[in-house]
Structure 1
Amino acid sequence: MSDRIDFNDEDSNRSANPTFDSVLTSRLNRRGLLLGGVGSAVLTACGGGSGGGVAFPIIPPAPAPAPAPAPGPAPGPTEKLLGFGAVPKSLADSVLIPAGYSASVLYALGDPLTGATPAYANDGTDTGFENRGGDHHDGMEWFGLGADGKRSDSSIDRGLLAVNHEATTDETLSSFFLHANGGTTTLPRPAAEVDKETAVHGIAVLEVRKDGAGKWSYVKDSAFNRRVTPLTEIDIAGPAKGDALMKTKYSPTGVKTRGTLNNCGTGKTPWGTFLTGEENWFGYFTRAAGDDAARSNDKSVTSLKRYGRAAGATSRHGWETGGADDKYQRWNISKTGASVDGTDDYRNEMNGMGFVVEFDPYNKSKLGVKRTALGRYAHESIAFSKPVAGQKVACYMGDDARNEYFYKFVSDAVWSEADANPSDPLATGAKYLDQGTLYVARFDADGAGTWQELSLSNPAVAGFAGYSFANQADVVVNARLAADAAGATKMDRPEWCATNPANGEVYLTLTNNSNRRIEPASSSQLVPDPANPRVYTDFKGTTAQSGNPNGHILRMADAGGNPASTSFRWDVYAFGAESGANADTVNLSKLTADQDFSSPDGLVFSRSTGICWIQTDDGAYTDVTNCMMLAALPGQVGDGAKKTLTYQRADSTQYTVDTMIGKQPTADTLKRFLVGPSGCELTGLCETPDGKAIFVNIQHPGESTKQADLADPSKYTSQWPSNAGYGAGKRPRSATIVITKDDGGRVGS
């Protein structure tokens, strides 16, 4: 293949589920062009820092006037949230933050996690990634450590970071920055390359500390440091444990699997464990062209196609060609054995991926656990309802693919405060995450919505003509098919979700969807609906991008504030758009140049300040600015008004759709806080309990570099973080940074 793989471009939902076109009263207009101007920030980088951390340039939005002489002693500072100056858009290969803040690199791809592991050379010769930092830093959570080395929820200067390592930077088969000569671009792949690429996936747990001078660093030889890769053994729990769908050559009883893969968003449980979501795992597997016939075209074929693996599907990296060893052959999910149950091959191997996995970050002797009751799909982050004694616990999850769904799981058990700090955290996880009810969201035109149960108790699921579910294990393993049956609303790539600590409302990023159309030409193309109401054209230079290129952020409130409720209210908090776009059809939130954004992805609420941090993973606006992070002080569902969008089809018929838009953000409630280096995605954020340090991930800087240009660093589209003074070599590296306020205040004030 000659083109870079778009690993987030899965589109396998061919269900006939309504998209609320039945509630629309007329037709939508084809025209809604983004008309904003194109600009860039010309910035000057500066060196800085000492030791392991390196300070980034801190560039204010505009030069500040010289202060007038003070008549007397200045009063103490008064905190104002979002009191910082908005950072301008930028195409510079550096990290920009507001004046009055400092940032440094904390932990990057390849950094040693044991004292015996040598420093990272960053030239493709490095090995031993089972003991090094992985690639594509993504979701991340903080877990405090006390002076006694035990869990401390109040610790502000010592803790563990649990970090997802999602994927690698590719143009063809090879993760070329990892290999000295760029790696092979044809099959078969050498075993040494496959082993290295496999090992940089998964998660890491690492200890971090702040010294007396306020400088943060990670502890290279900490006993807590841990890597989990796609080869690490994992337990299976919940309805699918031991089911026929989970049986493989590796685990004939279906109770274990190997590894976790393509880990994206995260969650932190009320009982203090780490949750990681397995997102775009389907692309790592291959299936032979004749596999449908080998399976006698049974219902497993329906399942495989629904999850993006049609017969003849090739794998992302060709890992299955690394050799005859079992660790390579597992990536071939064709039926090759003679057994009835799949215990002599890996025909069921993909059924072991696509879950939320729970880890005890404080105890690396404990295996991770796949919580199958939460369903199997392209998981992003997982957000919990506020735990209330005597009330059931809910968690919310998005399926990140075009036209996929938003889910909720409600525990059978009611919350007990005694479970907040248990002696056996994974047993507590089993209590709340292995038994309960899985739901999928259906959004109605009037700002209401319902949660549809995914079980055989729902007649729509039990009687589904498209797939015959055998039991609840079958329902959760094939949650997408169950959601099809339940009539869920197809959404514009549901990504991260987060719970507002102020009121318990749930926010969901809908990154974009190129398949929205006024006049659909295929079964995968959808007309707009109230929860996904825009269809327009966004010009990136002279290239037209159609559908909903900029995405939006939706929010919802369960009825009565009860997370177990099966109904909710919703509206759209903010629509991504260029500030100069048409305010009637595209820039519906009327964003200014200090607020405009595209393709919201990461989403985290600060438990300290209540700030909602919004991170972007953008391809539509990157001719104007690199990806960014914004700070928001959102209101609540229903604080805005209904908006009717009217468009015209080619046959001149009118088509209208009503949507619910939240209160317009102001300069005091939404502004840009950070812009990342070239080609990066901003993703993952956590903080110390006092809110005075936040940790942010910079993923895949220089992603658009060509494999053929590996030998010439001047042709890299990014050299970050080496150009900021961190580490050897010039190959770009994903990394975690730490941000603090120079006056010692809380970040975001």
Structure 2
Amino acid sequence: MSHHDHDDDVVTNTSNNPHILEVAEARFTRRQTLFGGLSATTVALFGGLSLAGCDNDDDPSTPPPAEPLPTPKLSFVPVAKSTADVLTVPDGYTANVLYSLGDAIKEGIPAWSDTGTETGSSYADRAGDHHDGMYFFGLAATGATPDHKASDRGMLCMNHEALTTTYLHAAGSTTVGGVRTIEDECIKEMNAHGVSVIEVKKTAGSFAVVKGALNRRITTFTDMELSGPVRGDAQVKTKYSTTGTKTRGTVNNCANGYTPWGTYLTCEENWAGYFARAADDNSKRTGDHAKEVAALNRYGNAQGAVGRHRWETVTGDNFARWNTSVLGTTTDGTDDYRNVINTFGFVVEIDPYDPTKTPKKRTALGRFAHEGCWPGPVAAGKPIVFYMGDDNRGDYVYKFVSEALWNPADANKADRMAVGDKYMDRGKLYVAKFNANGTGDWVELTFNLNGLTAANAAYPFANQADVCLNSRLAGDAVGATKMDRPEWGAVNPANGEVYLTLTNNSNRGSASQPVDAANPRNYDADTGSTTTSLNGNVNGHVIRWHEDGDSPAATTFEWDIFLFGARAAYPAEVNQSGLNANNDLSSPDGLWFDPRGVLWIQTDDGAYTDTTNCMMLAAVPGEVGDGGPVTVAGQATYKGKNLGSNNLRRFLVGPKDCEITGIHMTPDGKTMFVNIQHPGETGSLAAPLSHWPGGGTARPRSSTVVVTRDDGGVIAI
């Protein structure tokens, strides 16, 4: 999400959880040499099952290769840093715009006018704003049949996280005295959130959007089912769904994921800020009102909050649902929307091939600021595992382990949402503790275990639905490790190791969030000094871990810090990864492993933009333990080996005031899709900071670009 909103979110983790240095000695000592020489069995488990729908061996029903993936070698010349209002790719590459804010996805919808005068209802069939997480699902040459090896035709799913209302409307949003006065503007904004599911096809060497019957927008108006432990719980009953089985819409969809059975996962991140909550009589709230108020506060919906876009100020039920205040007279909340906020904050599953299927919010995977949801390696007879981060300063890393064991036949079933019911509605949710000695523990978040009981003093849990609805409070209760804004994750197809971006944290080093082994830096934003004018973890880092026993379902792991973001000019104590002009970066955010083992890192930055716009880099990583122990300003930690320009280099730099976020490739490795979010975000109509991609005097627009190599070869290697 935009750096202008994100790192300024209210910090809601006020728990007294122990930090790394307070954690007791782990059950075992850190091995001196980790995971060296993967066995053929390990490779068979992890090597070829990385990204379903992405490479020629991606069908989970096909046995993976018995040999390790070859180590890729980066072949492009690094791109220089830039503050120009252009999109820069390496020499020998071309980037073309595919899909921009306001583009029509159906025939009969007028083209974008560049005036902001399009109707609100038309955005049900137009590209939304703030393009974000994205995935390409291959299609057969005709019809809606999945073809996971197809590179010329597919369904492209992408999130639309948020808005730049300055350019969305004719003259920005209209608000008088805190009240939205033009209903159609609010309808446009509500439709400009959510997800695009669009058919794209390569013709005469170029991709274009096909305005066909498979296309749809999923917005804040779309009907959604609640699935899993929370379904039917008293805390999700509303005027819209008095049985607590459904809700309307999804919002603030940031990163994403996919499933081995061919569905798309979109994740609700900073949703709490969209809801108003008046200073009403809390004693009228549903059930145990003290519990409910504690949960509202922990998730950032404090008493007196107003909605981010003030949609709740417009008359009508579609707008009243953005108000969590007690406005009705029932004791169960079925005549107002006091409980509606509890129907947001989930992983949402979407069938990209079937527009008739209702999306489902998979509540067993917990409720928090879901940055994304990434599957671990898949093996027959083993559970399905998903990794997730809660993007808030000082919040947690989670994983979900399915109760059902993977049956490869499920990869090809026509009713993909039913397969999702099997693997995503029942299982165990865990939260991570990163120990000071480089080991870690996954702590189970199950009702009546690990203190998650009705006797818990801070928050008395009633059942598993309560644990899933209040995953943050459960993490508080078990002493999970407070992290520096856990964002995107990615799983290395070569060895199953998991990488996660910790984008930055202005609170790191404070009394509530002191430095620790997994989050070891607190330094000055301007000089890199670790002794004066400290500003937290300014540039962020990437952490990684290897599950013990090479099992994604393991409850213990070993970790190190793969990469520290920093300016190249910073002192070595801060620039721990030895970054240089070809690869220095700040605020790593988007993260994706391609099937060949190249790790792509995207940035969402406000701390280095005096020198360069946001960027994307390619990395060839090693493995956990390839470096060793280091000390950062007195804090002991573990870091991987420095990569240098050979194994880490800048591939793309975006236009002014943008974020680079969302990436995927066609299975042949020859076409890359990348999203450029909110160029010119902080400008105005009178003084735009960007005119990308239209140039001239055009309004800036979030857009998806297609990157190809001029010689038609595979990208990057």
Letter in 2 for 1:122: D
Question: Which residue number corresponds to residue 147 of structure 1?
Answer: 141
Please report the TM-score for the alignment, with normalisation by the length of structure 1.
Answer: 0.86
Letter in 2 for 1:311: Q
Q: Bigger CA drift: 244-253 or 454-463?
A: 454-463
Question: Which residue number corresponds to residue 260 of structure 1?
Answer: 250
CA contact (8 A) 1:265 1:381 kept: yes
Mapped to 2, the partners of 1:558 and 1:292 lie a distance apart of 44
Structure 2 counterpart SS, 1:198: helix
Question: Which residue number corresponds to residue 618 of structure 2?
Answer: 631
1:459 Cα deviation after fit: 3.2
1:289-368 correspondence to structure 2 within 5 Å: 289-295=279-285, 297-323=289-315, 325-368=316-359
1:455 Cα deviation after fit: 1.1
Mapped to 2, the partners of 1:626 and 1:299 lie a distance apart of 44
* 2:673 aligned to which of 689, 692, 695: 695
Mapped to 2, the partners of 1:617 and 1:4 lie a distance apart of 10
Question: Which residue number corresponds to residue 162 of structure 2?
Answer: 167
Question: Which residue number corresponds to residue 188 of structure 2?
Answer: 196
Aligned length: 661
Relative to structure 1, the CA distance from residue 211 to residue 336 in structure 2 (aligned partners, 3 Å threshold; closer, same or farther) is same
Q: Bigger CA drift: 290-299 or 624-633?
A: 290-299
CA RMSD of superposed structures (Å): 2.0
CA contact (8 A) 1:8 1:401 kept: no
Mapped to 1, the partners of 2:443 and 2:402 lie a distance apart of 15
1:172-571 correspondence to structure 2 within 5 Å: 175-186=165-176, 187-189=178-180, 190-212=182-204, 214-219=205-210, 221-295=211-285, 297-323=289-315, 325-462=316-453, 463-517=455-509, 520=510, 525-539=512-526, 546-571=535-560
Map Cα deviations across residues 14-36 of structure 1 (whole Å, 9 max, x no partner): 011011232699xxxxxxxxxxx
CA contact (8 A) 2:444 2:450 kept: no
CA contact (8 A) 2:527 2:570 kept: no
Structure 1 counterpart SS, 2:451: helix
Question: Which residue number corresponds to residue 587 of structure 1?
Answer: 575
CA contact (8 A) 1:188 1:322 kept: yes
CA contact (8 A) 1:439 1:453 kept: yes
Letter in 1 for 2:515: P
Letter in 1 for 2:157: A
Structure 2 counterpart SS, 1:245: helix
Question: Which residue number corresponds to residue 95 of structure 1?
Answer: 87
Mapped to 1, the partners of 2:400 and 2:192 lie a distance apart of 31
Question: Which residue number corresponds to residue 678 of structure 1?
Answer: 656
Mapped to 1, the partners of 2:264 and 2:281 lie a distance apart of 37
Map Cα deviations across residues 604-660 of structure 1 (whole Å, 9 max, x no partner): 0101x21100000001001110000000000111110001234xxxxxxxxx32101
1:181 Cα deviation after fit: 2.3
Q: Bigger CA drift: 456-465 or 374-383?
A: 456-465
Mapped to 2, the partners of 1:419 and 1:7 lie a distance apart of 40
1:79 Cα deviation after fit: 12
Letter in 2 for 1:617: D
Letter in 2 for 1:197: E
1:10 Cα deviation after fit: 3.2
Letter in 2 for 1:315: G
Map Cα deviations across residues 323-349 of structure 1 (whole Å, 9 max, x no partner): 1x1001001100111111110110100
Mapped to 2, the partners of 1:392 and 1:678 lie a distance apart of 44
Map Cα deviations across residues 38-65 of structure 1 (whole Å, 9 max, x no partner): xxxxxxxxxxxxxxxxxxxxxxxxxxxx
Question: Which residue number corresponds to residue 709 of structure 2?
Answer: 741
**1:613 counterpart = 2:600:** yes
Structure 2 counterpart SS, 1:509: strand
Mapped to 2, the partners of 1:500 and 1:459 lie a distance apart of 31
Map Cα deviations across residues 126-182 of structure 1 (whole Å, 9 max, x no partner): 12100100000000000001113211001111111001000002xxxxx22121122
1:544 Cα deviation after fit: 6.7
Relative to structure 1, the CA distance from residue 367 to residue 346 in structure 2 (aligned partners, 3 Å threshold; closer, same or farther) is same
**1:600 counterpart = 2:600:** no
Mapped to 1, the partners of 2:503 and 2:682 lie a distance apart of 20
Mapped to 2, the partners of 1:85 and 1:447 lie a distance apart of 35
Structure 1 counterpart SS, 2:74: coil
Question: Which residue number corresponds to residue 65 of structure 2?
Answer: none
CA contact (8 A) 2:438 2:637 kept: yes
Please report the TM-score for the alignment, with normalisation by the length of structure 2.
Answer: 0.90
Structure 2 counterpart SS, 1:539: coil
CA contact (8 A) 1:540 1:623 kept: no
Relative to structure 1, the CA distance from residue 161 to residue 619 in structure 2 (aligned partners, 3 Å threshold; closer, same or farther) is same
Mapped to 2, the partners of 1:545 and 1:211 lie a distance apart of 54
Mapped to 2, the partners of 1:622 and 1:427 lie a distance apart of 46
Structure 2 counterpart SS, 1:418: helix
Mapped to 2, the partners of 1:414 and 1:540 lie a distance apart of 52
Mapped to 2, the partners of 1:583 and 1:79 lie a distance apart of 28
Show structure 1 runs of 4+ deviating over 6 A: 540-545
Mapped to 2, the partners of 1:560 and 1:457 lie a distance apart of 27
Mapped to 2, the partners of 1:480 and 1:372 lie a distance apart of 14
1:7 Cα deviation after fit: 7.4
CA contact (8 A) 1:7 1:280 kept: no
* 2:97 aligned to which of 98, 105, 115: 105
Letter in 2 for 1:571: D
Question: Which residue number corresponds to residue 18 of structure 2?
Answer: 18
Relative to structure 1, the CA distance from residue 660 to residue 80 in structure 2 (aligned partners, 3 Å threshold; closer, same or farther) is closer
Letter in 1 for 2:480: A
Mapped to 2, the partners of 1:396 and 1:676 lie a distance apart of 28
Structure 1 counterpart SS, 2:591: strand
1:322 Cα deviation after fit: 1.4
Mapped to 1, the partners of 2:327 and 2:236 lie a distance apart of 16
Mapped to 1, the partners of 2:19 and 2:84 lie a distance apart of 40
Mapped to 2, the partners of 1:563 and 1:673 lie a distance apart of 31
Letter in 1 for 2:465: A
Mapped to 2, the partners of 1:447 and 1:16 lie a distance apart of 22
Runs of 5+ unmatched residues, structure 1: 26-77, 170-174, 647-655
Letter in 2 for 1:104: N
Mapped to 2, the partners of 1:158 and 1:304 lie a distance apart of 44
Structure 2 counterpart SS, 1:595: coil
Map Cα deviations across residues 430-455 of structure 1 (whole Å, 9 max, x no partner): 11110000000000011100000001
Mapped to 2, the partners of 1:291 and 1:593 lie a distance apart of 57
Q: Bigger CA drift: 546-555 or 5-14?
A: 5-14
Mapped to 1, the partners of 2:412 and 2:515 lie a distance apart of 45
Relative to structure 1, the CA distance from residue 93 to residue 511 in structure 2 (aligned partners, 3 Å threshold; closer, same or farther) is same
Identity %: 53
Letter in 2 for 1:601: D
Letter in 1 for 2:688: Y
Runs of 5+ unmatched residues, structure 2: 26-69
Letter in 1 for 2:581: A
Mapped to 1, the partners of 2:167 and 2:534 lie a distance apart of 30
Mapped to 1, the partners of 2:169 and 2:704 lie a distance apart of 22
Letter in 2 for 1:151: P
